[in-house]
Amino acid sequence: MGAKVIPVIGIRKRSSKKQRAIEILVRLKRLYPDATCSLNYASPVQLLVATILSAQCTDERVNQVTPALFNKFPDAASLANADLAELENLVRSTGFYRNKAKNIKSACQTIVSEFGSQVPKRMEDLLKLSGVARKTANVVLSHAYGINSGVTVDTHVQRLSQRLGLTEHSAPIRIERDLMSLLPQPDWENWSIRLIYHGRAICKARSPACEACELSDLCPSSVVTSD
């Protein structure tokens, strides 16, 4: 007989959403013990810029672009005074380069004029910067300053959180609130990083590898094959 696709029934049917979230977190830590931010940077402002560039672009591509960019403009002051056309040319291959260059220059001008050339450490201040929403602010606060103010929600985190049944929302801010209520605050950022790793390796957008997924018994969206 041919293989039949059946839903997995297991822990996910017997436990609360919060219990499942914690168990998923435990397994992600085991699966990706060394997971960390994959953007290359040497300072908070470089992380901020790299994260702005990563919008709708791979981290790999950003890491190819930033060495030349940071060699020419290593800090907030130099970026604030950069020639916009030169900045555009340096970040062109990341896509949407005009907007990104404009936002980077404007954000760094604000950092210089309002924050003493230092990237601020408060969410409300980061959100004043051009091109910075909660996703970018969460990355900067967590990885530059060790401050977990929220959960970073990118496309991987959004897709997997929905598939895992941890949120019914599609708006990033509402997904973030749901995840913050389910996870311990110290794990908010490493949850996102590890979920991103899992999204790249296993739970891909078009062809999730449910048969190879070590979260399948916790996932309402998972299917397995049975002879």
Look up residue 168 and give its amino acid: E
- Residue matched to tokens 């049917």: 13
Give the residue from 126, 80, 135, 72 showing the smallest Cα distance to 102.
80
**pLDDT for the residue numbered 136:** 97
Contacts of 89 (CB under 8 A, 6+ apart): none
Helix (H, G, I), strand (E, B) or coil at 226: strand
**pLDDT for the residue numbered 223:** 81
pLDDT of 166 higher than 70: yes
Helix (H, G, I), strand (E, B) or coil at 5: strand
Known catalytic residue at 135: yes
pLDDT of 226 higher than 80: no
Given the residues 59, 75, 125, 154, the one annotated as active site = 154
Q: pLDDT tens digit string along 73-95?
A: 999 999 999 999 999 999 999 99
Contacts of 184 (CB under 8 A, 6+ apart): none
**pLDDT for the residue numbered 224:** 61
**pLDDT for the residue numbered 9:** 43
Contacts of 146 (CB under 8 A, 6+ apart): none
Known catalytic residue at 154: yes
pLDDT of 13 higher than 70: no
Given the residues 100, 135, 178, 187, the one annotated as active site = 135
pTM: 0.89
State what percent of residues in the chain have pLDDT above 90: 91
